[in-house]
């Protein structure tokens, strides 16, 4: 069977797990009633199931290609993009002043996940545009906002993010792209950028590139970087695309997966650009887009996990192999296959709940101005990104295993999920960087935001003991262990924190997953078996992860290059 958008799962998670009602109770998002949310998700689900999902295989079999400087997209992608654009899905969370819906980011996050499950290669396009819209809303001049945002929301124009260069990957401050003042308020941008997702296409009237570059008087490192809007076609005052700018696609990358998403090497040869934000403060503006994209990429991992699980479940119910304890003959009745499917579903729920909880925190911070909600969102962002994409990779691999030998055959489609999702753990800062961000910048408050969240988990588990004593006690004990680990962590030197960062992030995700599964089971007892998998089989990993974290950096650095090579 093809992908089916799990609308009821989103509604349950919003209502009983992550508390979307808090968002709807604010003045800013008062229109996000349960009835409205259900109608929006149902309509988006129909588009994903009926229109976008059938395109997924086309993107894999017929990659985007570069012909005489023009990017030709995969068959059906133009129609798919138009369905997304005309439905208003690009501007879901954008300001109504410029034509957006003004919906909570939580709703946009759920819709984006569905679009990613249906066709991840295409979903990357509107995701980049959404991030650019948010960056412009926060940092651009009124004139730039009025000219660009309505076109981006409508889908007439598309947006990209240009950070990476061949000599400056994660070390953005090492970039060499330069900007020169033209004397008329514009700037000349010269340099090359690599790995530019959807750097061009053949269905948008204009491609709007946000480009990081350094002015002649810019300080070294990230402090001296500025951000510029550099359109493919220079628009006139009415927004009509005019002359071609001095930029172009040099080549498209040949990738492991996501073949339908053109990843471009972009060349800027004195291209005309407009400053976004202040000179030398481009990273602050770009981080607005990057933070949006980090959660978005985390949910891409969840999206692929959902699609891979659905395909594996369908196959397991149809494939007959050997005698099973239940006698039906389908492989789903073999204990180990049932275990794999249970883990796939459990992990997908955990990662989704973490991502949606992060989105709710972002909405609450925006609607209330609360510093605590902002800190909660900041804390959850690296966890949502890293855990979501790790789970996307792991669930896709389990999907291959459920298919057995047929999973290794491309025609079944299971392998595409594994190839497409692999890059998400690298996108927008590798997962190791996310983990170091969690134990570094996100712990600059002495761990206060983490401790507040863990206290909430303990309080809920304490209340749940009357109904589910075993599961609730396990969650409470895990949260307490993580509280102690957090106290230890904030007292360590940076190298020791960084060496244990990945283990700590995973342990935190394990505790969050157990907490959200417990909430789900209390709201619906039919979810109790799934919660038991999360809490009894997966949550115990947190102790081993905490032990890893406490080992520090000495043992890692004892493995010198010479010892590693011997």
Active centre residues (catalytic): 428
CB 328 within 8 A of CB 468: no
Furthest-apart CA atoms within the chain: distance in Å = 80
Query: DSSP assignment of 308-330, as one string?
Result: HHHHHHHHHHH-B-S--TTSS-B
Query: DSSP assignment of 514-539, as one string?
Result: HHHHHHHHHH-GGGHHHHHIIIIIIT
* Distance between CA atoms of residues 566 and 561, nearest Å: 9
* Distance between CA atoms of residues 497 and 470, nearest Å: 32
Q: 358 — phi, psi (to 5°)?
A: -65, -45
Q: How many residues does the chain have?
A: 566
- Take residue 307 and report the two structure tokens written for it: 């699609």
CA distances from 60 to 54, 123, 202, 255, 413 (A): 12, 14, 18, 11, 10
Quote the Cα angle for 5-6-10, to 5°.
Answer: 125
> Phi/psi class of residue 24: alpha, beta or left (left: φ > 0; alpha: ψ in -120 to 50)?
alpha
CB atoms within 10 A of CB 248: 18
Strand partners, 267: 192, 248
* Distance between CA atoms of residues 182 and 215, nearest Å: 11
Choose among 134, 130, 110: nearest CA to 23: 110
CB atoms within 10 A of CB 12: 16
């Amino acid at each position: 069977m093809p992908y089916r958008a799990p609308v009821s799962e989103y509604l349950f998670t919003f209502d009983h797990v992550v508390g979307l009602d808090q968002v709807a109770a604010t003045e800013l998002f008062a229109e996000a009633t349960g009835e409205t949310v259900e109608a929006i998700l149902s309509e988006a689900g129909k588009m994903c199931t009926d229109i976008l999902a059938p395109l997924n295989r086309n993107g894999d079999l017929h990659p985007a290609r570069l012909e005489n400087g023009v990017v030709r997209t995969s068959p059906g992608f133009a129609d798919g993009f138009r369905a997304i654009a005309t439905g208003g899905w690009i501007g879901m969370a954008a300001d109504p002043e410029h034509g957006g819906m003004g919906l909570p980011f939580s709703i946009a996050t759920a819709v984006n996940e569905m679009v990613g499950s249906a066709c991840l290669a295409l979903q990357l396009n509107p995701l980049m545009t959404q991030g650019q819209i948010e960056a412009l809303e926060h940092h651009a001049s009124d004139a730039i906002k009025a000219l660009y945002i309505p076109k981006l929301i409508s889908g007439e124009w598309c947006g990209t993010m240009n950070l990476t260069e061949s000599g400056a990957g994660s070390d953005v401050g090492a970039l060499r792209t330069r900007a020169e003042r033209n004397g008329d308020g514009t700037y000349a941008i010269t340099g090359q950028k690599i790995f530019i997702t959807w750097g061009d296409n053949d269905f948008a009237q204009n491609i709007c590139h946000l480009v990081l570059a350094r002015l002649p008087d810019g300080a070294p490192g990230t402090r001296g970087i500025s951000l510029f809007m550099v359109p493919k076609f220079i628009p006139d005052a009415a927004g009509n695309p005019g002359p071609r700018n001095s930029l172009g696609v040099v080549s498209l990358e040949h990738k492991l997966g996501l073949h339908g998403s053109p990843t471009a090497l972009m060349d800027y040869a004195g291209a005309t650009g407009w400053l976004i934000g202040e000179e030398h403060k481009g990273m602050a503006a770009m981080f607005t887009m990057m933070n949006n994209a980090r959660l978005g990429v985390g949910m891409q991992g969840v999206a692929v996990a959902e699609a891979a699980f659905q395909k594996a479940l369908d196959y397991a119910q149809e494939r007959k192999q050997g005698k099973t304890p239940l006698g039906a003959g389908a492989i789903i009745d073999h204990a180990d296959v049932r275990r794999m499917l249970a883990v796939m579903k459990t992990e997908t729920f955990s990662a989704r709940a973490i991502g949606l909880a992060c989105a709710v925190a972002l909405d609450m911070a925006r609607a209330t101005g609360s510093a605590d909600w902002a800190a909660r969102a900041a804390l959850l962002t690296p966890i949502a990104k890293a855990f979501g994409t790790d789970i996307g990779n792991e669930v896709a691999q389990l999907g291959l295993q459920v298919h057995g030998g047929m999973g290794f055959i491309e025609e079944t489609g299971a392998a595409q999920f594994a190839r497409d999702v692999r890059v998400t753990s690298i996108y927008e800062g590798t997962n190791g960087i996310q983990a170091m961000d969690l134990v570094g910048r996100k712990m600059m408050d002495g761990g206060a935001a983490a401790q507040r969240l863990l206290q909430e988990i303990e309080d809920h588990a304490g209340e749940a003991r009357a109904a589910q004593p075993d599961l609730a006690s396990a969650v409470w004990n895990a949260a307490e262990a993580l509280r102690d680990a957090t106290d230890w962590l904030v007292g360590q030197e940076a190298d020791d924190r960084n060496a244990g960062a990945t283990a700590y992030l995973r342990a935190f995700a394990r505790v969050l997953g157990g907490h959200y599964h417990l909430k789900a089971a209390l709201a619906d007892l039919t979810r109790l078996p799934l919660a038991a998998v999360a809490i009894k089989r997966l949550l115990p990993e947190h102790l081993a992860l905490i032990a890893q974290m406490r080992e520090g950096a000495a043992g890692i650095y004892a493995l010198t290059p010479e010892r590693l090579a011997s």
